[in-house]
Chain A
């Protein structure tokens, strides 16, 4: 198992190194002639107004919350899915109950209007 993770780790380092190296090489090859007009923030082509880091709406947060719940749920279901073939029908029914309870949560969110993007 160590050797597998070692390979993944090395691959990650290489995967970070390659684009970084390419960007650095291009930085050396490319001309560098900055001037204030060129370095202005582009945004939509007009002069920028106000602070760039604006406030966001709560919808993102709500979807993030629902996603978090489902994420944890599926993480719990993965070991179950791996053991599926060794399981009796009873075990499958229990997992079905688990999923149905969460489906109830989805229905609640839906009825409450949390799934509307307004």
Chain B
């Protein structure tokens, strides 16, 4: 019990201290645990939701730089408090509830869309001592809970009594379930290498980052997670030019704000998961002895991944619906299956080899798989009969000759 103990592992220190205090008061261990859980989950969830304000500021700043603007710069240093001001404003905005909405789905949707993302934070290992629940099916839990987000979107679209909202919602769900296919197949690779579904154990057994073992699986997961979030280039859910704004057109005030918070939180959570599964989570030199160091590594790695997604969001144009579906079903899904097969077979065949050599072989094979699948698909693309893209010429309104002036 010293200052060093606290600095080394603040979360573990505080937890031990808290349970110690409760035990001192004569609280039964079961009740103490329940109180600890309630308090812990409350603090973590609130922290996550407040953290979104920082994310919004960061994203606006980066996107502004990409577009050669300055971005928020008035409130606070570098405009840091812009999001706080925005939040205060949105709290005082009127809820405009259009007529004919389906009350329960309409109001449940924004809550559920945030909750479905927030729950993922319950199983994420932030450092060797700082994690909520160490579920032995953690990874499947994370994938499963994403389906709650799909439901929230369906509810929003259905409840809004709006054709465009409904169309946007079903597009969103179609996209999410489609990209879930290559995602779950690609996630079999880290599970296979770690031999566990628990996120905690996946990190602990990740002596070699799994992005090195299977860069293609990592790439597939990265693309699929961007699509799951529904950000550019996969933001055809909210294609302004066709669907006005997607499933959340009819929402206003903080109900809209919740969808916004949900989206940003989802993007960041996807980056957290990518780091956990493919970039070694909190692993790094000295992270096991000094847990706070692991937490810092984790945040830095996640920050880099998140920066990449923002960069992609700022620079790529939107896919068309059929292109989006083609990319998923005709490239990512076969590729993920091929990578799974190749990784499983090679790793088993070369079991006697040292880990380093195995990784080198796996990287080379991953490249080979990517090259072969890409070649096959390009041959298919060349032979494919396409529908004519340009439309038939239609008469255009022009000023009548000699007509009424």
- The short answer to whether A and B are in direct contact, CB under 8 Å, is yes
| CB-based closest 10 A-B pairs | A15-B118, A11-B122, A26-B254, A117-B322, A4-B133, A15-B115, A11-B41, A81-B192, A7-B133, A19-B114
Residues of chain A with a CB closer than 8 A to B7's CB: none
A40 to chain B, nearest CB (A): 7
Point out residues on A near B: beta carbons under 8 Å. 1, 3-8, 10-12, 14-16, 18-20, 22-23, 25-27, 29-34, 38-45, 48, 52-54, 56, 60, 63-64, 66-67, 70-71, 74-75, 77-78, 81-87, 89, 92-93, 95-96, 99-100, 102-103, 106, 110, 115-118
B91 at the A interface (CB under 8 A)? yes
Complex formed: what's the CA distance from A82 to B325 in Å? 30
Point out residues on B near A: beta carbons under 8 Å. 33-34, 37-38, 40-42, 44-46, 49, 90-100, 107, 110-112, 114-115, 118-119, 121-123, 132-136, 140-141, 158, 160-164, 166-167, 170, 174, 177-178, 180-181, 184-185, 188, 191-193, 195-197, 244, 249-250, 253-255, 257-258, 261, 321-322, 325-326, 329-330, 333-334, 337, 340-341, 344-345, 348-349, 387
Residues of chain A with a CB closer than 8 A to B163's CB: 43, 48, 52, 54
Q: When the two chains form their complex, are residues B254 and A92 in contact, meaning their CB atoms are under 8 A apart? A: no
Residues of chain B with a CB closer than 8 A to A87's CB: 348
B322 to chain A, nearest CB (A): 4
Interface of B is mostly: helix
With contacts A12-B115, A15-B45, A23-B258 known, is A43 near B340, CB below 8 A?
Answer: no
Interface of A is mostly: helix
Partner of A103, one of B46, B184, B334: B334
Partner of B92, one of A29, A64, A77: A29
Q: When the two chains form their complex, are residues A41 and B100 in contact, meaning their CB atoms are under 8 A apart? A: yes
Taking A16-B111, A44-B164 as given, write out 11 further A-B residue pairs in contact, using a Cβ cutoff of 8 Å, ordered by the A residue number.
A10-B37, A25-B91, A30-B91, A39-B96, A40-B98, A40-B99, A42-B162, A45-B244, A52-B160, A78-B188, A100-B341
